[in-house]
């Protein structure tokens, strides 16, 4: 593994991903990855799981409050799996950066919201089920 993989959570915007090794869809098929990419977390992109700027059009709001958390080093492939009509599953040694002030690695794996409705952004709280979020 080369560079440190990280997810940057942008207020009112997407997840910026750097140096990811694997991105799979709900069918387990590998999606094209680039050294830098943006994944939708508002739920409105027409190009899911990738961001297409829809968060600006719908007025997506997500200000993340700083939280103190212990750093953990996770082993394994740095990967994100997209669940059909559900969250992103993040596994491996991936740093999560929120508000440029904190870095944390959650449990391995951990789950990030992509429907836009979670009350615990950027983490998934199951709201995708309540709002019938769909990849379509």
In terms of Cα–Cα distance, which of 116, 112, 115 is closest to 134? 115
Q: How far apart are CA 44 and CA 118, in angstroms?
A: 14
Enter the pTM of the model. 0.81
Query: For residue 100, is pLDDT > 90?
Result: no
The CATH classification of domain 1-136, taken from the options 3.40.718.10, 3.90.1300.10, 3.40.5.90, 3.30.70.890 = 3.40.5.90
Identify the residue with better confidence: 75 or 129.
129
Write out pLDDT tens, residues 110-133.
999 999 999 999 999 999 999 999
- The pLDDT tens digits of the residues spanning 27-66 come to 999 999 999 999 999 999 999 999 999 999 999 998 776 5
């Amino acid at each position: 593994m080369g560079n440190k993989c990280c997810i940057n959570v942008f207020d009112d915007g997407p997840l910026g991903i750097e140096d990811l090794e694997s991105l799979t869809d709900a069918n387990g098929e590998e999606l094209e990855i680039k050294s830098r990419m943006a994944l939708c977390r508002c739920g409105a992109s027409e190009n899911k799981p990738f961001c297409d700027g829809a968060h600006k059009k719908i007025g997506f709001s997500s200000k993340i409050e700083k939280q103190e958390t212990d750093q953990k080093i996770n082993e394994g492939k740095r990967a994100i799996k997209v669940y059909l009509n559900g969250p992103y599953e993040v596994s491996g040694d991936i740093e999560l950066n929120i508000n440029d002030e904190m870095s944390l690695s959650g449990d391995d794996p951990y789950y990030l919201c992509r429907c836009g409705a979670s009350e615990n952004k950027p983490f998934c709280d199951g709201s995708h089920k309540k709002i019938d979020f769909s990849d379509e």
